[in-house]
A = this chain, B = another copy of it.
Amino acid sequence: MSQFSEETITLIRQELKKCIPQLSINCVIFRFNGEHLQVPIVQPVQADIWNIPGGYIYQNEGINEAAKRILFEQTEINNLLLSQFGTFGSAQREFSEEIKGYSSLGFPEDIIKHVSQRFVTIGYYSIVGQKQKDLKTGPFFKEVKWVNVNETKSLALDHSHLVSEALLMLRAELQSKPLLASFMPESFTIPELQKLYEAILGRPVDRGNFRQRILKTKILIKVGTATKTGSRPPIVYKLDTKKYLDSLTQDMKLGF
């Protein structure tokens, strides 16, 4: 009662052979939907579990390139900048429970054995803009979707731990880089931006002070004013891309 054809099995074998064994990559991608901080998770065809997108590294491929490829294959997110937040590999880090049903799906022993080995994984993280709405996953996955970061407790393996570690890194970055704006849509208001900061930091920040600090960086350009707000309409800004890129190279402390 195999769900997978002989060709598929052969394809999987070939893929696995092209990769470095026992080493994987996982990508934690943050996005702010205006309300919550979210990450994409994927569901493999073989099991009813949810994972952070991740995969293996080809022999002829650098790890940074592998991270980009894997992310794109599984989510169609085409990302510019992925940074490492750590590498994880305790002795017991392996799929065991999660993988039980595989043989009933028609996977031969050798493949099951391969993927249930102990794995070390390299964690990458990044942030994407709000417009990144449509995720589309690749073969070998049933589904991909965004979930709020505080709803990632039940992911497989140590993946929820990966999310928290990535979030810590993101917070640390906020202190020295105005990464912020990469998250936001083309144009946005300062109160919107503030919500993003509060989502990442997990605490409220003072309105007046926030505004002053952001404007001091001079990376925002006024482009207009919002309408139909029910209260005073906020000023709409866009990013001064040039100044923004400059500000990324030199580190400033903007301690929030």
- A88 to B62 alpha-carbon distance, docked (Å): 9
Asked if A164 lies at the interface with its beta carbon under 8 angstroms from chain B, I say no
Say how far A129's CB is from chain B's closest CB, in angstroms: 27
Stretch of A18-26, A105-113, A138-146, A193-201 at the chain-chain interface? A18-26
Asked if A59 lies at the interface with its beta carbon under 8 angstroms from chain B, I say yes
Asked if A91 lies at the interface with its beta carbon under 8 angstroms from chain B, I say yes
Contact B84 A86 (CB under 8 A): yes
Q: Which of B20, B63, B90, B93 contacts A87 (CB under 8 A)? A: B63
Asked if A255 lies at the interface with its beta carbon under 8 angstroms from chain B, I say yes
Contact B120 A57 (CB under 8 A): yes
Residues on the B chain within 8 Å of A89, using CB: 57, 62-63
Residues on the B chain within 8 Å of A122, using CB: 87, 120
Asked if A253 lies at the interface with its beta carbon under 8 angstroms from chain B, I say yes
Residue-wise, chain A 9-36 has the 8 Å CB interface mask toward B (1 for contact) of: 0000000000011110000000000000
Residue-wise, chain A 29-62 has the 8 Å CB interface mask toward B (1 for contact) of: 0000000000000000000000000000101111
Asked if A65 lies at the interface with its beta carbon under 8 angstroms from chain B, I say yes
- A86 to B61 alpha-carbon distance, docked (Å): 18
Contact B84 A120 (CB under 8 A): no
Say how far A171's CB is from chain B's closest CB, in angstroms: 11
Q: Which of B23, B91, B93 contacts A120 (CB under 8 A)? A: B23
Asked if A136 lies at the interface with its beta carbon under 8 angstroms from chain B, I say no
Residue-wise, chain A 83-106 has the 8 Å CB interface mask toward B (1 for contact) of: 010111111010000000000000
Residue-wise, chain A 168-192 has the 8 Å CB interface mask toward B (1 for contact) of: 0000000000000000000000000
Closest B residue by C-beta to A20 = B22
Q: Which of B21, B61, B253 contacts A91 (CB under 8 A)? A: B61
Asked if A118 lies at the interface with its beta carbon under 8 angstroms from chain B, I say yes
- A120 to B61 alpha-carbon distance, docked (Å): 11
Residues on the B chain within 8 Å of A91, using CB: 60-62, 65
Contact A62 B90 (CB under 8 A): yes
Residues on the B chain within 8 Å of A253, using CB: 253, 255
Residues on the B chain within 8 Å of A22, using CB: 20-21, 23
Residues on the B chain within 8 Å of A59, using CB: 118
16 contacts across the A-B interface (CB closer than 8 A):
A20-B23, A22-B23, A23-B23, A57-B89, A57-B120, A59-B118, A60-B91, A62-B89, A62-B93, A63-B88, A64-B90, A65-B91, A84-B87, A87-B122, A120-B122, A253-B255
